[in-house]
Structure 1
Amino acid sequence: MNFILETLQVLLMSIWYNLESFVHLFVPRKRKNIEGEVVLISGAGSGIGRLMAQEFAALNTVLVLWDINQEGMKETARLAKESGASRVHYYLCDCSDKNEVYRVADQVKQEVGDVSILVNNAGIVTGRSSWRLLIP
């Protein structure tokens, strides 16, 4: 009996969520306005971090950029200003060093204020040598 009730519940919920998704195809959800919000993007010196900075800049946000590549960050900051960011701050930060992250975070809090949105884009690419550890 319990199995039948649970199966019926799953079927009804599936129908409901499919109907809800179908409605949202024609009636989009309301988007949040993030104009003026402080957005911190780590790994902003190139690649996806740079592209995200440009997208957030177009929404008139205050950008805080972190990277270990100073020249890349300067270029990203220039592109973000051209894209419409209200303010752009950039800091040299090695995100693999916990103490440096805390130091730079305190500096950002003092100079810019509280961060509203954090995009953790910095990462460590390990490459082929780590893959070989998995394959005997």
Structure 2
Amino acid sequence: MKTAAQVLKLKAVQNQQVHSIAPDIMVLDALKIMAEKNVGALPVIEGGQVVGVVSERDYARKVILNGRSSVGTPVREIMSSPVVTVEAQQCVEYCMAVMTDSHLRHLPVLENGELIGLLSIGDLVKEALVEQADLIQQLEHYIRGH
């Protein structure tokens, strides 16, 4: 089973770059960055550490539904925190379990305490399906005696 770091490396080149923001950025600016980069969430970095994750879901639930302004609200006030992370060497199955147990759609991946990427649930499901297809093929070859 692949590790979180290996799955990050398999992502399309334009999706491998880690886009992050500071906690004092206004929500509207964070939304603009998400739209520009075509991502659904951004890690929030302060002092070199991941202190939260802000997502489109956070915006919908904590700004729009509460009648707040995306212009005057800093990301710090709506980000999901404390942030749940995994280490780069964790396997796909472990990452999926963490995301399921914590009800997450985005999971920051750290290596030696430094953010190296953000995995989506879609990234992990895609990899799990590839691994299942490979296993099925191996079993079919075994059964046929090839």
Could you state the TM-score of these two structures normalised by the residue count of structure 1? 0.27
Q: TM-score by structure 2 length?
A: 0.26
User: In proportion to residue count, which structure has more helix?
Assistant: 1
Q: Of the two, which has the highest radius of gyration?
A: 1
